[in-house]
């Protein structure tokens, strides 16, 4: 069975500071991993995804994530936070073995302080 754990339901950073959102996964097969962002009153939007090519994945809006198999982690980072990054971020895992449903984490709400 697969699962995803996002540490910290709320994270606050100052504008211009490093953003680090944590995601750990559990999977018996090599996973596909995703980060989605949800702005208020909107649906989820894909930020980036890992599909077993490069372990460092670059996404939209300056975000990137690194797949670390030894740590079963896929943390999301951005070097410098912007006010517009305030949103809720979801990590998700999917399986290449033919299943078609994501397992989502509980989300991390990012607050950016001026």
Partner 1 sequence: ETGVTQTPRHLVMGMTNKKSLKCEQHLGHNAMYWYKQSAKKPLELMFVYSLEERVENNSVPSRFSPECPNSSHLFLHLHTLQPEDSALYLCASSQDPDRGFDEQYFGPGTRLTVT
Q: Which residues bind partner 1 (CB under 8 A)?
A: 9, 32, 34, 36, 41-46, 49, 51, 90, 94-107
- For 77, how many CA atoms within 13 A lie in the half-sphere containing its CB? 10
32 vs 77, beta carbon nearer partner 1: 32
55 vs 99, beta carbon nearer partner 1: 99
Query: CB 28 → partner 1: shortest distance, Å?
Result: 14
14 vs 99, beta carbon nearer partner 1: 99
Joined tokens for residue 95: 């399986």
Question: What φ, ψ does residue 84 adopt, rounded to 5°?
Answer: -70, -5
**Gap between the Cα atoms of 38 and 103, Å rounded:** 16
Query: CB 14 → partner 1: shortest distance, Å?
Result: 26
**Gap between the Cα atoms of 96 and 49, Å rounded:** 13
**Gap between the Cα atoms of 49 and 65, Å rounded:** 8
Query: CB 103 → partner 1: shortest distance, Å?
Result: 8
46 vs 113, beta carbon nearer partner 1: 46
């Amino acid at each position: 069975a697969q699962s995803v754990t996002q540490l910290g339901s709320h994270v606050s950073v100052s504008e211009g500071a490093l953003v680090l959102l944590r995601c750990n996964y559990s999977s018996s097969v090599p996973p596909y991993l995703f980060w989605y962002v949800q702005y208020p009153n909107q649906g989820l939007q894909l930020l980036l995804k890992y599909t077993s090519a490069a372990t460092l994945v670059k996404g939209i809006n300056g975000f990137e994530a690194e797949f670390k198999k030894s740590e079963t982690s896929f943390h999301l980072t951005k070097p410098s936070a912007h006010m517009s990054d305030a949103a809720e971020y979801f990590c998700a895992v999917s399986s290449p073995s033919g299943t078609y449903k994501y397992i989502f984490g509980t989300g991390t709400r990012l607050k950016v302080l001026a």
